[in-house]
Amino acid sequence: MNDYVPKRGLTNGHLMTVYCWGKPRAFPALPPPTERYFEIEPATRVLAHCHWQRDPAAHPALIALHGLEGSSAAHYMRGIAAKAHGRGFNVVLLNQRNCGGTEALSHGLYHSGLTADAAHVIAELRREGINRVVVAGYSLGGNLALKLAGDYGSAPPPSLKGVCAISPVIELAACVNALERRANFVYQWNFVRGLKARMRRKAAAHPGRFSLERLPLVRTVRQFDEYFTAPHFGFQDADDYYFRASAMRVVDRIRIPALVITAEDDPFVPVEIFRDAQLRRNPHINVVVTRHGGHCGFVSNANGSDDGYWAERRLVEFAETLTAESLITDDQ
């Protein structure tokens, strides 16, 4: 599976990451999504943008999870949707709580190990007759996908056939440490800008519920988590949150097929994480480490109908192998 060749000129992890983040993409063959709200619990709803096949129960589903401060509109989310829907999947692009402009839908926040939303969607789809599901995530979403599988352990729901994680932040402390390097200032600044803006929107949507007194002090992701994420969810501090929310705590328990794709030149997900024995010894996990690819990049030269986004293609091919039953679209 490790046949990735980077796009010419993008053998630098920073260049690859920024290129894929900023390059506009269009998906003319992807039909417009329908909105679907999932009520996780009282006062907690999440929004998904869904691309259904004409007879959803006759087709498998791919649930896609975005990264920190992303949304269902992220380019890789739509790229996955275009490829998977074209191969006969229902696609559920799930927004994390408060993401994608949904601050008013939930009283609480979200964090990097909050798997309840994806688990709820799997169960609800199963009740609707969709009994072949794969969960795939990028970055924070990759941590969620792997932690979900690990939390289930030896008793996953029968409909969950596997998980896939691209550039997953499966050891949060190591990734936050890497993010604080001087060379990663732009990524840190971008994440913090988004987190602070969302916190202001959250406070406006729920007057009196959140204090913004310490928000001006936030300059790093770690500080945001120390002041807001950790106390909101009952963690002792940011370090406690990072330890307990990391998928690495539970990867040894994964008992369904799991594909992990990461790059040696990822600017802030250290490749050493993926050499850990817990990952390597688990026969259910296939770890693919490419030399290049950046963070959530992995673009190669386009070739005909292949737009060059290698990880998206590999993800969908992996999902196909796990759900292979009449994988054609209703329009074919």
For 13-171+247-323, CATH gives 3.40.50.1820
Relative to beta strand 285-290, strand 258-263 is: parallel
pLDDT tens sequence across 144-165:
999 999 999 999 999 999 999 9
pLDDT at 94 over 70: yes
- Give the chain's mean pLDDT: 95
In the chain, where the domains are located: 13-171+247-323
Predicted confidence at residue 325, as pLDDT, reads 62
Fill in the amino acid letter for 305. S
Answer for the pair 99, 71: CB distance below 8 angstroms, yes or no.
yes
pLDDT 10s digits, 102-123: 999 999 999 999 999 999 999 9
Whether the CB-CB separation of 141 and 64 falls below 8 Å is answered with yes
Half-sphere exposure in the Cβ direction for 113 (13 Å, CA): 25
| DSSP SS3 for 238 | helix
Cα-only R_g, the chain: 19
pLDDT above 50: residue 97:
yes
- Residue 328: the pLDDT is 47
3-state secondary structure of 198: helix
Q: CA-CA distance, 223 to 234, in Å (whole number)? A: 16
